[in-house]
A = this chain, B = another copy of it.
Amino acid sequence: MKLLEDKILNEGIVLGQDILKVDGFINHQIDVSFMEELGKDMAEYFQGQGITKVFTIESSGIAPAVFTAKYLNVPMVILKKQASKNLKTQVWQTEVVSYTKDLSYELTLAKEYISDTDHILIVDDFLANGEAATGAVRLIRKAHATIAGVGVLIEKSFQPGREKLESQGISVYAQAQIRDFENGKVRF
């Protein structure tokens, strides 16, 4: 998607070999009209598939997921990151270990916001190792709902996230696919 690629080239900052900082328009400060365009494009890509809900993982996926859900005209659900296992039976949980951030958490969803007739689109800002996205897939499958796909703004194609998802039959749409970083420049 050219709009996002241009923004990354103009305003993204490459740190070291594999970090792209997009804090100025996606993660920390948000360019709202730009984000709405991304959400609209995401919804157009997945439209007509009978999606009933958009799920995201708190917190940097919330803004793109809100606009995707708006244009698909469905509710949006925020999967929560909880520090410890919740022993209540009213929640679905699965442990996510993030090697990138060196932490783990229980991805948590109240059972009342999912049913076995739901067909769910997962939206997040980044796809790299796929830890959060595969966690969301496990959670949705625990509830016997189905998955329309995973939509992300930015994919780091040199990391295994897409492969992990596609090998489970999950379709992936990335609005910008980063092949690598060469001399501090992003290559799509």
* CB <8 Å contact, B29 and A75: yes
Given contacts A36-B70, A59-B58, A66-B35, contact A76 B110 (CB under 8 A): no
Contact present for B28 and A78 (CB under 8 Å): yes
Interface residues on A, range: 20 to 34
What separation, in Å, do the CA atoms of A80 and B23 have in the docked complex?
A: 12
User: Would you call A32 an interface residue if the criterion is a C-beta within 8 Å of the partner chain's C-beta atoms?
Assistant: yes
Chain B residues with CB under 8 Å of A73's CB are: 33
Copies in the complex: 2
**In the complex, what distance in Å separates the CA atom of A112 from the CA atom of B113?**
38
Which residues of A does B touch, CB under 8 Å?
Answer: 23-24, 27-33, 35-36, 58-60, 62-63, 66-67, 69-70, 73-78, 80, 110, 112-113
How far, in Å, is A39 (CB) from chain B's closest CB?
Answer: 10
Q: Which 7 A-B pairs have the closest CB atoms?
A: A59-B59, A58-B59, A62-B62, A29-B113, A30-B76, A32-B69, A32-B70
Q: Are A32 and B76 in contact (CB under 8 A)?
A: yes
